[in-house]
A = this chain, B = another copy of it.
């Protein structure tokens, strides 16, 4: 597994898990249709409570990133990922604004900020072979 959790972090474990799975999909490490470990086995692997894993899976299902199949178990959404919803754009705006403001106050230039955003975007999709829409 490519998942790393920081138990000292302020961000809840379930949220870290959600993030890492999304990053896994973005990078191509997880392809549409790919199966995910069962709640129980992943919980064991990571040394965390299975309720926590469950919470992450449920959130990702609600968002449309995962599907829960009665037979195949939990798999990565095979029928196309959800697009840019209003809710997401709103969240993106809010967080970017906050980060940009602090960056500006700390003297980070626009160029540096933009550069960082771009390079982090690129990093996340490294393994996808550029089949970017």
Contact = CB atoms under 8 A, between A and B. Distances in A.
A106 B27 CA distance: 13
State how many copies of this chain the complex holds.
4
A65 to B, nearest CB: 7
A90 to B, nearest CB: 11
B93 A120 contact: yes
A81 interface: yes
Contacts of A103: 84, 88, 92, 121
A19 interface: yes
A7 B84 contact: no
A106 B84 contact: yes
Given A104-B124, A110-B121, 7 more contacts: A12-B70, A22-B101, A26-B102, A81-B106, A96-B116, A104-B125, A107-B132
Interface of A: 7-9, 12-13, 19, 22-23, 25-27, 48, 62, 65, 67-71, 81-85, 88, 92-93, 95-111, 113-114, 116-118, 120-125, 132-133
